[in-house]
Structure 1
């Protein structure tokens, strides 16, 4: 039986999702594969203690690994996104995890890194993995990700780190890896006809916080010249959501209103924000996926009060940092 605490955390979340559906607390959805249900019930234990700022990423790695544990030969060869098979998608995740590991001095599996650039490393690693059986790809992807978590855990989360020329706190780099792993796990699950539970709220909240804090940068990248003093209030509904005041000028710092555990843990300012030109209200998970390149900004479901043009610009700019 698997004693990995992050794996048990995933199974706990799966069982909780099933219990909510059975109790009528969640809308009915497509059924999960029987094997997934059996695994969750067979391995149900008291809630595992997974702590520390690496836990959101570790939780998504465990979720993806649980999904891969059910993959048959047809699943590994099935197209997911970008024209990639499941094995190629996993190689893409391993490539980008490996670039974080390279910057952190953690182990990097596979061929030596020639260029510290995501698409180049993805192509290189996909070519390498096509010559191996899928279980070898899965094994090395998981081993590299677990080693990265162990290597980073002792570091202060605000430690600056540069990955592919982009510098930000190491905790934010790992939250970015959490978001991409979450999205690609959903891609793989959708291709296989499997429904997975959402991350636990304590993992959604810091990820949503990162997505919100990226908004001034995404606006800049989309060419929106926003004068100092212009701001929006983002209200993200659902478990792990909250309200943020977001100054949109370059260098503006988003502030979570109310002071969540995730923001306090990294020492960020959690005081209330100021006035806003627009208030945008939407679902927290849908917003995270929009930032991650899933969803159509023009059709994105959001309530808007105030300056509708500014709100529209923000939602269209949200995916600016997303990639394959």
Structure 2
């Protein structure tokens, strides 16, 4: 390659991730020493990579859409976590890569009645439940919740209290506490050892192994990162295929439990993936339902109305509607 300006910008993203061969890296470095515009772009890219790697957050800088997409698509989970915690680790890295785009835009409406600041505060509250079970101290003063309150009421009250508390602080302080708590959660023994994480605990009304609760945390973190991206007009890539598959499988298991053994049986499949019979195992299948895995996750996450989600169906429309409505009813995000 030449050291001309035209050739360098296309190589900067790979340079920031250390993916160039030595000769190309040397040429880019020599060019940056004498080109102010490329040097500024390179600094922005390096900052995005630093955030992706989980370094402490400082004043964010804005990255071009293409750089954000590359950063999110190449995000990698922390090397020391076990497979069950990898989707959460990758989702945390993905949100960190998006955070620089929020500079000066923290009051942007996102979802429900939350702005961007409140959305991150909600994640601080949501992660707190699993973190507390694993010995991580809460970073927000406790809420006054009546003993015996339904889990959903307690969940919503805690989220509202944390959001109110964080709105009295700066977004940077909220982000710092969210990132620190996520780091502590990923540093627990249960994040590194599947055997330790095999014990079941009850959170959000579901008694599941800790391994599955880590998947839930990954699912919610990705959903809210997607919410933020949509609010900013930025496309947030899907989780890596192996992570998306794990999230879909967990959602299908929870949906199967919610439907119970007497629901009209429906053969459910995700595009290009597996298929399951949901409902009664004692009757012939009454309908078939196929969803894109991304759309299925958005449905379970409450981002699609049952009647609006794109789908392929055959057979009993009422049986299909029952599955879609029950899937949407699982949303707590």
TM-score bracket, shorter-length normalisation: 0.7 to 0.9
Pairing partner for 1:52 from 83, 99, 123: 83
Residue in structure 1 matched with residue 42 of structure 2 by the alignment: none
The separation in 2 between residues aligned to 1:160 and 1:304, in whole angstroms, is 36
Task: Work out whether 1:242 is the aligned partner of 2:274.
Answer: yes
Cα pair 1:6 1:59 within 8 Å, conserved:
no
Residue in structure 1 matched with residue 155 of structure 2 by the alignment: 118
Cα pair 1:232 1:277 within 8 Å, conserved:
yes
The separation in 2 between residues aligned to 1:89 and 1:147, in whole angstroms, is 20
Residue in structure 1 matched with residue 120 of structure 2 by the alignment: 90
Superposition RMSD in Å: 3.2
Pairing partner for 1:69 from 97, 100, 124: 100
Deviation at 1:155, TM superposition (A): 4.3
The separation in 1 between residues aligned to 2:288 and 2:142, in whole angstroms, is 47
Q: If the length of structure 1 is used for normalisation, what is the TM-score? A: 0.73
Deviation at 1:40, TM superposition (A): 6.6
The separation in 1 between residues aligned to 2:160 and 2:236, in whole angstroms, is 28
Q: Which runs of 5+ in 2 are unaligned?
A: 1-45, 55-61, 146-150
Deviation at 1:280, TM superposition (A): 0.9
Cα pair 1:103 1:163 within 8 Å, conserved:
no
User: Given the superposition, is the C-alpha separation of residues 5 and 236 from structure 1 closer, same or farther in structure 2, using an over 3 Å criterion?
Assistant: farther
The separation in 1 between residues aligned to 2:200 and 2:103, in whole angstroms, is 41
Deviation at 1:113, TM superposition (A): 5.0
Question: 2:238 is paired with a residue of what secondary structure?
Answer: coil
Task: Work out whether 1:190 is the aligned partner of 2:230.
Answer: yes
Deviation at 1:111, TM superposition (A): 1.7
Question: 1:146 is paired with a residue of what secondary structure?
Answer: helix
Deviation at 1:185, TM superposition (A): 1.1
Larger radius of gyration: 2
Question: 2:332 is paired with a residue of what secondary structure?
Answer: coil
Deviation at 1:36, TM superposition (A): 4.2
Question: 1:142 is paired with a residue of what secondary structure?
Answer: helix
User: Given the superposition, is the C-alpha separation of residues 91 and 46 from structure 1 closer, same or farther in structure 2, using an over 3 Å criterion?
Assistant: closer
Cα pair 1:218 1:319 within 8 Å, conserved:
no
The separation in 1 between residues aligned to 2:251 and 2:110, in whole angstroms, is 24
Task: Work out whether 1:202 is the aligned partner of 2:242.
Answer: yes
What is the total number of aligned residue pairs between the two structures?
269
Cα pair 1:278 1:305 within 8 Å, conserved:
yes
Question: 1:76 is paired with a residue of what secondary structure?
Answer: coil
Q: If the length of structure 2 is used for normalisation, what is the TM-score? A: 0.71
Pairing partner for 2:130 from 84, 93, 100: 100
The separation in 1 between residues aligned to 2:194 and 2:70, in whole angstroms, is 36
Q: Which runs of 5+ in 1 are unaligned?
A: 10-32, 221-225, 253-273
The separation in 2 between residues aligned to 1:4 and 1:48, in whole angstroms, is 13
Task: Work out whether 1:160 is the aligned partner of 2:204.
Answer: no
Pairing partner for 1:290 from 286, 295, 299: 299
Residue in structure 2 matched with residue 277 of structure 1 by the alignment: 286
